[in-house]
Amino acid sequence: MEGWVTVSNIISPLLISMDRFILSNIAGASKISFYTVPNELVNRLSIIPGSLGKAIFPKLSCLNNYDESIKHQKYAYKLMTLICFPLCLFVYLFAEKILTIWMGSQFAGTSSTILQIMIVGFFFNCFSQIPFANIQAFGKAKYTAYIHMLEFIPYMILLFVFTKQFGIVGVAFLWTARVIVDFILLYYMSHRCNILMKKQR
């Protein structure tokens, strides 16, 4: 299991940081700040769903009962929605004002559009914490590693294409698309873990 965790620990930071690295090299330093500011805000907000994911992991690890596990997962999804949906809606609606107050009016244009795009991805990323926690609790860290390996090469290729063709807004759309795909794959793998638990009853 430790080997698979290591694989994820290597690939995951690359998936998170390569967009900024490629942008800075292709689009130039003059444009990168318009992307990194909303990106950094989204990263800071990630502590909220991340904390909930860490909180549910020990509970799921202790459960060997299928019905109880499903019950706690459903509760976690409801709680995540209750906390994160109002937050994401607020950021989406007031993206321009938030960036103007935080960084100044020069970031109120393109950066607010990028923030609106990325907050949609962030919403899905919030929910990713729950299947991720369930997969780890079930001892199937290799599933997460498989997902990261599957995503890595296509994402790197698309980053180059989207950066050259669509600039920073295109990269924001690509980032959001990746985290949505990430959630779908994690949810599927988590569902497989649930099925395995049900069969073990």
65: left (phi over 0), alpha (psi -120 to 50) or beta: beta
Dist. CA 19–CA 159, nearest whole Å: 7
How many residues in the chain?
A: 201
- pLDDT tens, per residue, the chain with 201 residues: 556 667 777 888 888 888 888 888 887 777 788 899 999 999 999 999 999 989 998 888 888 888 888 999 999 999 999 999 999 999 999 999 999 988 888 777 889 999 999 999 999 999 999 999 999 998 888 899 899 999 999 999 999 999 999 999 999 999 999 999 999 999 999 999 988 888 776
